[in-house]
Amino acid sequence: MSNHHENDTPIHLDAVVIGAGLSGIASLYRLRKAGLKVKAFEAGSGFGGVWFWNRYPGARVDSEYPLYQLNIPEAHQSWDWDYKFPAQKELSDYFNHLDKVLDLSKDVYFNSEVTSVRYRDGLWTVRTAQRTATCKYLALAAGALHRTHRPDFPGLDNFGGEIYHTASWPDDIDLQGKRVAVIGAGATGVQVVQELAKQVDYLLVCVRNPSYCLPMGQKKISDEEKVATRAHVQETLCQVRNTLAGYPAKQSPGSLWDRSTEEREALWETLFAQGGFNFLQGNYNEMLVDPKANREIYNFWAKKTRARVTDPVKRDIIAPVEPPYPFGTRRTPLDQDYYECLNQSNVELISLRDTPIARFNKSGFIAEDGKQKDFDVLVLATGFDSFTGSLTTMGLKTKDGLDIQDVWKDGVRTYLGIFVKGLPNAFLLYSPQAPTALANGPTLIECQADIMMETIQRLESIKAKSIEPKESAEAEWGELLEKMISPTLFRYAGSWWNGANIPGKKVQIFNYVGGLATYEKTCQEAVSTWKGFDIILDHHSEPVSQKTVKGSEEADLIKPIAA
pLDDT digits (tens, 9 = 90+) for 101-150: 999 999 999 999 999 999 999 999 999 999 999 999 999 999 888 788 98
- Asked whether 332 and 298 are in contact (CB, 8 A), the reply is no
| Model confidence band, residue 278 (pLDDT cutoffs 50, 70, 90) | very high
What is the CATH code of the structural domain delimited by 149-212+289-383?
3.50.50.60
pLDDT, tens only, 150-172: 899 999 999 999 999 999 999 88
Whether 386 and 510 have beta carbons less than 8 Å apart is answered as: yes
Which amino acid would we find at residue 498?
N
**Strand, helix or coil for residue 485:** helix
Question: Which of the four pLDDT bands, split at 50, 70 and 90, describes residue 384?
Answer: confident
- Per-residue model confidence (pLDDT) at position 2: 44
- Residue 391 CB coordination number (10 Å): 25
Mean pLDDT over all residues of the chain?
93
Compute the half-sphere exposure of residue 362: CA atoms within 13 Å on the CB side of its CA: 0
User: DSSP string spanning 353-369?
Assistant: TTS-EEEEETTEEEETT
pLDDT cut 90: percent of the chain above it: 88
Give the C-alpha separation, 459 to 530, whole Å.
Answer: 10
Check pLDDT > 80 for residue 520.
yes
Cα angle, residue 446 at apex, residues 444 and 451 outer, rounded to 5°: 95
- pLDDT for residue 354: 95
Cβ pair 82, 57 in contact under 8 A: no
100: helix, strand or coil: helix
pLDDT tens digits along 9-46? 899 999 999 999 999 999 999 999 999 999 999 999 99
Q: What is the structure's pLDDT at 550?
A: 33
Q: How far apart are CA 189 and CA 165, in angstroms?
A: 11
For the cut 70, the answer to whether the pLDDT of residue 8 exceeds it is: no
| CA atoms within 13 A of residue 465's CA, in its CB half-sphere | 12
Residue 49: CB atoms within 10 A of its CB come to 28
Q: 281: helix, coil or strand? A: helix
Mean pLDDT within 406-435: 97
Average the pLDDT over each of 256-260, 402-406, 408-412, 494-498 and give the range with the smallest value: 494-498
Confidence band of 340 (pLDDT split at 50, 70, 90) = very high
Question: Are the C-beta atoms of 330 and 211 separated by less than 8 Å?
Answer: yes
User: How many CB atoms sit inside 10 A of residue 369's CB?
Assistant: 10
Residue 556 pLDDT greater than 80, yes or no: no
State how far the Cα of 522 lies from the Cα of 518, in Å rounded to an integer: 6
Residue 121 gets which letter from DSSP? Answer: T
Encode pLDDT of 441-463 as tens digits. 999 999 999 999 999 999 999 99
Yes or no: say if 143 and 389 are a contact pair by the CB < 8 Å rule: no
Based on C-alpha coordinates, what's the Rg of the chain?
A: 24
Asked if residue 120 lies in contact with residue 138, where contact means CB atoms within 8 angstroms, the answer is no
Distance (Å, rounded) from C-alpha 379 to C-alpha 164? 5
Phi and psi at residue 22, to the nearest 5°: -60, -45
Asked which of 259-268, 378-387, 454-463 is least confident by mean pLDDT, the reply is: 378-387
Cα dist. 350→13, 144, 316, 379 in Å? 54, 30, 10, 15
Nearest to 382 by CA among 104, 164, 108, 93: 164
Percentage of the residues of the chain whose pLDDT score is greater than 70: 94
Report which DSSP code applies to 509: -
pLDDT at 293 over 50: yes
Bridge-partner residues for 466, per DSSP? 536
333/187 Cα distance (integer angstroms):
5
pLDDT for the residue numbered 563: 24
Find the DSSP H helices in 187-258: 187-196, 223-230, 233-239
| Residue 294 host element (H or E) | helix 291-306
* pLDDT tens by residue, 307-338: 999 999 999 999 999 999 999 999 999 999 99
CB 124 within 8 A of CB 136: yes
Q: In sequence order, which residues have a C-beta less than 8 Å from that of residue 427 and are 6 or more positions away?
A: 27, 137, 138, 139, 140, 418, 419, 448, 451, 452, 455
Query: Which residues does residue 40 pair with via DSSP β-bridges, in sequence order?
Result: 17, 108
Q: Which tens digits make up the pLDDT trace of 468-495? A: 999 999 999 999 999 999 999 999 998 8
pLDDT of residue 243: 96
pLDDT at 5 over 70: no
7 CB neighbour count, 10 Å cutoff: 10
As a whole number of angstroms, the distance between CA 26 and CA 3 comes to: 20
Q: Please list the residue range(s) of the chain that carry CATH number 3.50.50.60.
A: 11-147+386-557, 149-212+289-383
Burial of 129 from C-beta contacts in 10 A (0-12 / 13-18 / 19+): exposed
Alpha-carbon span 220 to 5, nearest angstrom: 42
How many C-beta atoms lie closer than 10 Å to residue 515's C-beta?
18
CATH classification (class only), 11-147+386-557:
alpha beta
Q: Helices 261-274 and 291-306 meet at what angle, rounded to 10?
A: 60
| Cα–Cα distance measured from residue 292 to residue 290, given in angstroms and rounded to the nearest whole number | 6
Please state, in angstroms and rounded to a whole number, the distance separating the CA atoms of residues 174 and 377. 11
Give residue 325's pLDDT: 97
pLDDT of residue 459: 97
Side-by-side strand order, sheet with 132-135: 11-12, 132-135, 123-128, 114-120
Split at pLDDT 50, 70, 90, the class of 504 is confident
Q: Are 523 and 451 in contact (CB under 8 A)?
A: yes
Handedness of CA 142, 496, 510, 285 (dihedral sign): positive
Q: What is the pLDDT of residue 147?
A: 83
Going by their DSSP bridges, the two strands 426-428 and 137-140 should be labelled as parallel
Residue 483 C-alpha from the chain's centroid:
23
Residue 95 has pLDDT above 50, yes or no: yes
